[in-house]
Amino acid sequence: MRRLENAVKSVKSEPNFDFSKHTTYGLGGRAKTAYFPQNEDEAVAVYKYLKISGEKFVILGKGSNLLVSDKYYDGSVICTKYLQGIEIEGNCLKILSGTTVQQLLSFCVKNGITGFEYLAAIPASIGGLTVMNGGTSDRRIASNILTVKVFDGKMREFSNKNCNFGNKHSTMSDINALVLAVYAGFEREKPEIVETNINYYLNKRKLQPKGKSCGCVFKNPEGFSAGKIIDDLGLKGMRIGGAEVSREHANFIINNGGSSADVYALIKAVKKTVYETTGINLEEEVIYIGEFNDELNC
């Protein structure tokens, strides 16, 4: 344990960590301590240390797709934002989990690699995208992945099949494991064509709502669009405090100077209205961290 403690002392850390500075919503309270490992060994050391010490902790990437409570989080954070790097290993890419989409696409242009352009402008890390099987309505990151390297007390490699990728879901979202790296297949292409493809997707995403959000709040029910369901009920512009259902895309909730409690209450109010009107129980894809008051139930 002493050796582990010494290893963790060398890892960059931040006491009284402010979630609001590290989430796309710009919301959240503070946590006891955050650790920022810069390589796989440091990440494993921090994970082991927190597990052995019995410390409560969460794993944070770019902070998209999250809603963090305004209340104090009496635990630690493993933030993977500096766990970055991409290597070509034979016929696949090894991508460290904190690598951002922008960094990956820059690498692809430079090296003439195609197959990832659809991810353009998604404000996420590769690890976070993998856990949530993120992407677009047409394609998810599962389509690129060969294996995922994780640590949950033991070093493991999950094949694509064993990741059980689904609708904004994976094995990694069910277990308290730290994604270290993703191994992804790729094809070669002329850099100028890769860049053209990226610009195509960037232009498509210009139509997405402006403002602080987590992206889409709800998963699309089988055969339906969550945004259309909410829109058809006339809920665009619905507000609670400083949170508002986007007038541009009804599956986005925008933070207009509100609190996490405002956003949470609005999510529950939309969900309740949809259920009472249509019988459809919308399932959140946003991940909650911390404690919330749940006074509205479907």
- CA angle 115–119–123, rounded 5-degree value: 150
Query: What are the pLDDT digits (tens) for 87-96?
Result: 999 999 999 9
The pTM of this model reads 0.92
Contact 240, 269 (CB under 8 A): yes
Please count the other Cβ atoms lying within 10 Å of the Cβ belonging to residue 135. 19
Domains and CATH numbers, the chain: 2-79 (3.30.43.10), 86-205 (3.30.465.10), 226-289 (3.90.78.10)
Identify which has the larger pLDDT, 177 or 93. 93
Query: What are the pLDDT digits (tens) for 28-76?
Result: 999 999 999 999 999 999 999 999 999 999 999 999 999 999 999 999 9
Tokens of 44: 């494993």
Strand, coil or helix: 177: coil
